[in-house]
Amino acid sequence: MNGCKIITFDFRNSSKPLDTSTCTQAQKDLLYSMMTTAYSSFNKSSNAYFQIISPVIGGAKFEDLLLYAKGFPEMDLITFTGLNPDVVKKLGATIIRDLLGSNILDINTISSSAVVQAWVSVHTQTEIKELGLNATSGVNETIPTQDYREMKVLE
């Protein structure tokens, strides 16, 4: 079932999995909001809740991803590649490791995905190596070359 064609569809009564692969980011955001509202009575730290919302997790906010990294089941790589790249860019390497769990070992298989490329573009080579990614950083490492006081004297 394509979730973007019929936004008003009652997903709670459907036996078919929701496919958001053709959705725009705005549509994913809306679907995620609808699902989290519909299932707000569930324990947000439960495996059942995560399984219910995982088809629309591409609309998850930064704060939600932080929560999911603290005790939810490990996120598979396909689900990870469906996340909003603008949100993932804000995550540190440790949070990504926590989200993916043992799936982090296979992160290079998705290194060309939009979400990984977006993350790499704003993080340092040290952070990229923390994830075991074979990629080149878009951000230079900040390495002090002189003591600040020496620089002041030279000016």
Q: What are phi and psi of 144, to 5 degrees?
A: -65, 130
% of the chain residues with pLDDT over 70: 78
Q: What is the pLDDT of residue 19?
A: 82
Residue 148 or residue 70, greater confidence:
70
Residue 2 or residue 85, greater confidence:
85
Q: What are phi and psi of 141, to 5 degrees?
A: -70, 145
Residue 150 or residue 126, greater confidence:
126
Q: What is the pLDDT of residue 48?
A: 80
Q: What is the pLDDT of residue 45?
A: 64
What would the 3-class secondary structure string for the chain be? Answer: CECCCCCCCCHHHCCCCCECCCCCHHHHHHHHHHHHHHCCCCCCCCHHHHHHHHHHHHHCCHHHHHHHCCCCCCCCHHHHHCCCHHHHCCCCHHHHHHHHHHHHHHHHHHCCCHHHHHHHHCCEHHHHHHCCCCCCCCECCCCCCCCHHHHHHHC
Q: What is the pLDDT of residues 110-125, one digit of tens each?
A: 999 999 999 999 999 9
Q: What is the pLDDT of residue 7?
A: 46
Q: Which residue has the tokens 């040290």?
A: 126
